[in-house]
Each structure stands twice: as structure tokens, then as C-alpha cells.
């Protein structure tokens, strides 16, 4: 394949990827008045966060979450046919000192395909770690540092020159500097072997910003480092630029600038720096072309000669599409959010368990709200926060809390009982119950829906033909399920008790009729069983539905349940 065809293929891949990503993002079905109001409110909130970030160095919201909300705003604007001005709006600020050369910012690319598209036709490309700190301008005149300015709104910033003598990483005088030297870089908190993949951002940027904004010199200033990422009107060669910066006292640029020829090269360094100990916190990589326009042409908007590719988001924004209420085998009602699919650490998330009904009410969430989710231990999705609430609140009514409990729904006495009965059946066939290998929750549900099961133990009397009559099971599968059901007849009495819901962790050596004869006081004498648990056990053993199951199992000749002859 020649180079021209390769470029065409790369462009097609990137275009398809962009289309596929956009295809999953649908416009909200809102009337124009509501769409306009939501757009304006979200834009105002994003502007507040942006000002706090650029003027005060404070991240009121995580960068990746902010970026996702910007994308959400752009989508809504396109739905409303409004122009997307993201990256082209000047940030309001209170900086009064003008930068000799504007800070341009970086366009953030979503994936490697977008990067490959950007790289087409560009030469002499380099990759650097995207250091997570506070952006500044350094100005030297005749070798002497005369200004240290905050980024501000990109055109004007605050004067931090009085802090510079306390930052040992910034040379106060450079003998080899040209008569007029402007550098742009990142002040960062120097770290000892920081692993971004495991440690994250550790709030380093906020610490740097706080130290710089204090009126008196902070003790943290000597611990700051500087990474120079731009030398406007400097050497055109990145190698020469790095060597000269190193000679002037800025060694990190040369050390962490790597030439690249493909998006795969960038992906390699991105992965390497994410999992390698570094002296600073990072949040991605920056890809630059050596050729840059003259400094006088730089504007406070993302430039065309450099882009960022951030690390995989550790948390994602998603929209609540629906809310379901599930009932466990003990009657506990759990709230599950159905969300727009998002990917975190190569795992697609579509459902988020938020716990009890009271917990859900504390969150005050409904369909349409934008939430942040992350992965907790063992990759379990967790609701982190709510970043956006829709103005029109849909009401959801959970099941009545007093209707379901530890002794409810052993039978399908009403349609509302199906979720708890299904949960009981799943437990019964699971590893802590009878350990039935060939039946899943889906098969239990099918047997219930076809009227073959209406209680916790009736399946034991099903025939092969009855099971095979359920659509989707078939003769061979039905035979397997039937044999598994019949094999439970050989399970010990103690295992059957656990499957029915008897208290766990109690050694049982007596048959059913003797267990029922024990008083609450006698149960309470057994080690590990207190008065409360003794009452629960007694209620279970004497509950009419439980007794009915014991009678059925007795007629089925299950050991331990037989009546005394």
C-alpha cells in the first residue's frame, strides 16, 4: 500500500470512528424552550468552572468530567442548531498583566483514530507527557527573569514574579539566554516516583495553585518544578530546542520529548508514562509538530500545531435512562439505575446499583439526570456524584417497604412477588444452596412465566415433558435440567435448609420435627445465637409457608423432612 492510499484509509477509519461515537448520542426529546434553558444553564456552569480553573488554579470538577460536559453541551447545541464555540471563547478573568505571547491551549482528541487523522500530512512530530500543574509564562530580558505570569485567560494573567525567587527550579538569571526570551510551561509539584495509573492526580495542581496565590511565600514553593512545553519564536528543531533549554537550566523538556512517526508510537509512550514512575503528575500526552507559527500570531484558542490525548477516564458522565427496583430473597428492595452505556477501564457500564430506597431518595435522582460513575473494588460500578439535574422531574414509585421481608413470597401469591421468588430460586440453585449446575436465572424466569413454578420447591415434581415444553429449552436441555433437579433428592438435610433460607452458619444435626420442637430459649443456648436470632429462627420454622414447603418435601421423601411414622 502506498502512502497516499494509507492516508485515505486512516481518514476513513477516523471518520467512521467519529460517526460511530456520535451515533450513540441522541438529542434529548425536549421542547425548544426547555432545550434552550438547559443549554444556557449548563453553559453558565461550565463558564464558572472554567474561570475557577484558569484564574484561581482550582479544579471544582475533574478535568475528564469537565470535558465530557463540554461534549454534552456541544451535542445539545447541535440539536438546537446553535454554533459550538468550545475552545473559541475567551475566558473572562481578572489578570492585568499581558502575556508577550498568548497561551493557546490544546484541542483534546478522543482516541487513537482521531490522532491518526490529525497526524496525516504533518512532519517532525514529538510527544511529551501532559504535566498536570499550573500553566505560566516566564519572561527573561538580557538573561534576567523579569516576569512570572499565570495563564489567566490566555491573554492576561496575574503577576507571580515575587514568588519566583523561592522556586529553585526556575533560574533567576540565564547567562546564555537571548536578549528577550519568552517561555511557557507548567509549574508542578515535584513527586517521588509517582505512578499515575495507581495514584491518580493526588490533588497536586490545587496544592501548587494554593501556594502561588498566597500573599506571603508558601513553604511549598521550593518543592515546585517547571516543565517548559513552549518556546515561542524559538529554534525550529525540537532537538536543538531541548538542548538549549537544558543548557539554560530546564532539563525536563529534552528528557521527556520523544520523536514519533505514527499514532502507535504515541500510544506506546502514553501507556508507558501512565504506568511508569515519573517526577510529576500527568493526565495524558501532548503531541506537537516542530513547525509553529510566529509568536505574534498565537491566540488564546487551541492551536493547530499541538493536541492532547488524555489518559483513559477513571470516571465517566452518563445519563440515567430509567430506574428499576429489584427485590432480593430477604425482601430488601434495591434501586438500580439503567444508564447510557459508558466505558471505564475497558468495561462497559449499563447498570448501576445505588442501594436501598432511602439511599436513592438521598441522591434525589431521576431519569435524564447526568451522573458521574466510577469503578469500585472488583470493577463494580459506583455512583460518585450528580453533576446535572433536569428541570422536569419524573416520579418513580418504589415497592412498599413493608410488603416484602424475610418471610414473604415463598409462593407467587401476587405478580408483585415474582422478583423475590425469583431471587429465592436463584439462591436455592446457587453454590450456597443446592448447587444446581444446569439452570440459570433465565430458566427459572421462563418456568415461572409458563406457569410451571409458583413456589420455591414445586420444581421438584416437574416432568421431563413439562420442562421441554417451555420454548427455548428443548429436549436435551430439559433432560439435563430434570436430572439435576432429581439429583437434589440426595442432598443432605442441612443443605436443603440453607437453600430454603434457614439461618446460615448453624450446624444442624436434628430432623425438621425436632428443630420445630425447640423453644426460643433452647435456640438461644447455642453458641453464636442470641435472643434476636433465636426468635428469627423460630418464626422461620413455624411460618405457614415454610411448613407447607416442609410437608411437600416430606411427601417427596427428602431426608430430614419426613414425618414420624
Residues designated catalytic: 130
Alpha-carbon separation of residue 356 from 143, 264, 281, 335, 410 (angstroms) = 65, 46, 37, 6, 22
Q: Distance of alpha carbon 369 from its chain centroid, rounded?
A: 16
Contact 285, 308 (CB under 8 A): yes
Distance between CA atoms of 539 and 512, rounded to whole angstroms?
A: 14
Ramachandran region of residue 280, left (φ > 0), alpha (ψ -120 to 50) or beta? beta
CB atoms within 10 A of CB 347: 10
Contact 339, 356 (CB under 8 A): no
Q: Is 380 exposed, middle or buried (0-12, 13-18, 19+ CB in 10 A)?
A: exposed
Contact 269, 260 (CB under 8 A): yes
Contact 102, 298 (CB under 8 A): yes
Contact 136, 150 (CB under 8 A): yes
Torsion of CA 189, 195, 201, 205, to 10 degrees: 10
Residue 440, CB half-sphere, CA atoms under 13 Å: how many?
3
Give me the helix-helix angle, 32-56 and 63-79, nearest 10°.
150
- The secondary structure of 188-224 as a DSSP string is EE--SSB-HHHHTTTTHHHHHHHHHHSSSPPTTGGGE
Mark 277-299 as b/e (b = at least 16 C-beta within 10 Å): ebbbbbbbbbbbbbebeebeebe
Backbone φ, ψ for residue 362 (5° rounding): -65, -35
CB atoms within 10 A of CB 53: 20
Distance between CA atoms of 564 and 320, rounded to whole angstroms?
A: 57
Amino acid at each position: 500500500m502506498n502512502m497516499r492510499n494509507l492516508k485515505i484509509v486512516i481518514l476513513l477509519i477516523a471518520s467512521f470512528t467519529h460517526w460511530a461515537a456520535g451515533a450513540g448520542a441522541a438529542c434529548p426529546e425536549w421542547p425548544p424552550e426547555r432545550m434552550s434553558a438547559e443549554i444556557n444553564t449548563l453553559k453558565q456552569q461550565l463558564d464558572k468552572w472554567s474561570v475557577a480553573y484558569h484564574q484561581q488554579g482550582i479544579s471544582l470538577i475533574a478535568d475528564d468530567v469537565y470535558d465530557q460536559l463540554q461534549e454534552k453541551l456541544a451535542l445539545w447545541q447541535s440539536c438546537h442548531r446553535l454554533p459550538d464555540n468550545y475552545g473559541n471563547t475567551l475566558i473572562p478573568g481578572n489578570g492585568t498583566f499581558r502575556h508577550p505571547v498568548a497561551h493557546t491551549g490544546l484541542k483534546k482528541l478522543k482516541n487513537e483514530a482521531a490522532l491518526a487523522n490529525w497526524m496525516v500530512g504533518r512532519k517532525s512530530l514529538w510527544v511529551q507527557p501532559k504535566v498536570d500543574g499550573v500553566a505560566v509564562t516566564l519572561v527573561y530580558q538580557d538573561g534576567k527573569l523579569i516576569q512570572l505570569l499565570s495563564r489567566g485567560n490566555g491573554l492576561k494573567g496575574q503577576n507571580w514574579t515575587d514568588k519566583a525567587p523561592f522556586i529553585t527550579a526556575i533560574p533567576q538569571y540565564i547567562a546564555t539566554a537571548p536578549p528577550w526570551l519568552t517561555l511557557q510551561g507548567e509549574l508542578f509539584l515535584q513527586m517521588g516516583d509517582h505512578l499515575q495509573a495507581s495514584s491518580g492526580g493526588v490533588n497536586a495542581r490545587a496544592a501548587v495553585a494554593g501556594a502561588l496565590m498566597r500573599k506571603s511565600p508558601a513553604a511549598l514553593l521550593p518543592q515546585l518544578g517547571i516543565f517548559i512545553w513552549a518556546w515561542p519564536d524559538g529554534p525550529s528543531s525540537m532537538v536543538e530546542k531541548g538542548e538549549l533549554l537544558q543548557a539554560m537550566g530546564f532539563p525536563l523538556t529534552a528528557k521527556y520529548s520523544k520523536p514519533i512517526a505514527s499514532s502507535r508510537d504515541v500510544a506506546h509512550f502514553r501507556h508507558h508514562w501512565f504506568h511508569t514512575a515519573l517526577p510529576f503528575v500527568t493526565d495524558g500526552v501532548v503531541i506537537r509538530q516542530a513547525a509553529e507559527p510566529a509568536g505574534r500570531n498565537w491566540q488564546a484558542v487551541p492551536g493547530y500545531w499541538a493536541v492532547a490525548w488524555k489518559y483513559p477516564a477513571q470516571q465517566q458522565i452518563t445519563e440515567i435512562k430509567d430506574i428499576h427496583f429489584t427485590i432480593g430473597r430477604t425482601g430488601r428492595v434495591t434501586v438500580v439505575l439503567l444508564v447510557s452505556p459508558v466505558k471505564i477501564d475497558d468495561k462497559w457500564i449499563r447498570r448501576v446499583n445505588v442501594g436501598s430506597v432511602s439511599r436513592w431518595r438521598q441522591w434525589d435522582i431521576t431519569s435524564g439526570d447526568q451522573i458521574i460513575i466510577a469503578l469500585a473494588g472488583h470493577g463494580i460500578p459506583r455512583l460518585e456524584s450528580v453533576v446535572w439535574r433536569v428541570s422536569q422531574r419524573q416520579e418513580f414509585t418504589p415497592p412498599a417497604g413493608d410488603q416484602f421481608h424475610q418471610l414473604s413470597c415463598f409462593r407467587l401469591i401476587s405478580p408483585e412477588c415474582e422478583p423475590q421468588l425469583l431471587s429465592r430460586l436463584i439462591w436455592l440453585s446457587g453454590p450456597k444452596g443446592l448447587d444446581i449446575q444446569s439452570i440459570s436465572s433465565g430458566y427459572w424466569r421462563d418456568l415461572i412465566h409458563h406457569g410451571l413454578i409458583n413456589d420455591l420447591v414445586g420444581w421438584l415434581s416437574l416432568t421431563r415433558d413439562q420442562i421441554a415444553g417451555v420454548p427455548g429449552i428443548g429436549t436435551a436441555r430439559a433432560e439435563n435440567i430434570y436430572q439435576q433437579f432429581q439429583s437434589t433428592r440426595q442432598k443432605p438435610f442441612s443443605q436443603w435448609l440453607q437453600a430454603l433460607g434457614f439461618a446460615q452458619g448453624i450446624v444442624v444435626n436434628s430432623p425438621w420435627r425436632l428443630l420445630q420442637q425447640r423453644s426460643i430459649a433452647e435456640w438461644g443456648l447455642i453458641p453464636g445465637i442470641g435472643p434476636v436470632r433465636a426468635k428469627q429462627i423460630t418464626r422461620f420454622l413455624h411460618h405457614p409457608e415454610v411448613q407447607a414447603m416442609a410437608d411437600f418435601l416430606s411427601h417427596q421423601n427428602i431426608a430430614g423432612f419426613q414425618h414420624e411414622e
